[in-house]
Chains A and B, each alone.
Chain A
Amino acid sequence: AQSVAQPEDQVNVAEGNPLTVKCTYSVSGNPYLFWYVQYPNRGLQFLLKYITGDNLVKGSYGFEAEFNKSQTSFHLKKPSALVSDSALYFCAVYQAGTALIFGKGTTLSVSS
């Protein structure tokens, strides 16, 4: 069965520092991988996706993610964090004929 793990409940970084939010997945075959962000009392906003091709994927708001097949990871990164990046981040995996399977989420807190 497909699954997604986000090992950190919370990540704390100072504004201007680089950030990483970790995600590992378990799926048979080739996965489609996604990152979504959720602000308080709001729905999910799409950040970026990996389908195939270059292992480094660039997305919205300066975020990027690196797909590592051997480590089955898809970590979200940003070179310089902003206070406005503080939110709840979800990693998700998709296979054809199924639905999006989400991790439990990681709260990112960026301090000024």
Chain B
Amino acid sequence: DAGVTQSPTHLIKTRGQQVTLRCSPKSGHDTVSWYQQALGQGPQFIFQYYEEEERQRGNFPDRFSGHQFPNYSSELNVNALLLGDSALYLCASTQNVLRAEAFFGQGTRLTVV
């Protein structure tokens, strides 16, 4: 049973560029959440997708956007990258939007130079 998979594992971008990160949820899960983990910090909630719609959003600017596809996979897009966007981006999936137990992917390490 494949768990949550994320791609790519590492990424280097230049300030001002745009980036897309991808996530496939655990089999049987239909809800995907994205988290940003800056160095030395706990993960911070970005947003959650369920039924192809953004259901909840944390305190992140509109430069952060996402999408969920009919197969439940998801993308995180970040526009106009800033140095401060450098972080580990984690995708988590749950069995449905009401379930709390989340399974995390290994993350995408984004470095903005």
Residues of chain A whose beta carbon lies under 8 Å from any beta carbon of chain B:
4, 32, 34, 36, 41-46, 49, 51, 90, 92, 94, 96-105
Output the nearest chain B residue to A49 by Cβ-Cβ distance.
Answer: B101
CB distance from B37 to the nearest CB of A (A): 9
**What total count of A-B pairs have CB within 8 Å?**
59
Please give, as numbers and ranges, the residues of chain A lying within 8 Å of B42 by CB-CB distance.
Answer: 4, 90, 92, 102-105
Known: A90-B43, A102-B42, A103-B42. A43 touches B4 (CB 8 A): yes
Interface pair A99/B58, CB less than 8 Å apart: yes
Please give, as numbers and ranges, the residues of chain B lying within 8 Å of A44 by CB-CB distance.
Answer: 43, 90, 92, 104
Please tell me the number of chain B residues within 8 Å of chain A, measured between CB atoms: 25
Interface pair A94/B104, CB less than 8 Å apart: no
Interface pair B43/A46, CB less than 8 Å apart: no
Output the nearest chain B residue to A33 by Cβ-Cβ distance.
Answer: B100
Q: Please, how many angstroms separate the alpha-carbon atoms of A36 and B98 in the complex?
A: 19
Please give, as numbers and ranges, the residues of chain A lying within 8 Å of B103 by CB-CB distance.
Answer: 46
Known: A43-B90, A99-B45, A102-B43. A49 touches B100 (CB 8 A): yes
Interface pair B33/A99, CB less than 8 Å apart: yes
User: What are 20 A-B pairs at a CB distance below 8 A?
Assistant: A32-B100, A34-B100, A34-B101, A36-B104, A43-B105, A43-B106, A46-B103, A90-B42, A97-B56, A98-B56, A99-B45, A99-B48, A100-B33, A100-B100, A100-B102, A102-B42, A104-B41, A105-B40, A105-B41, A105-B42
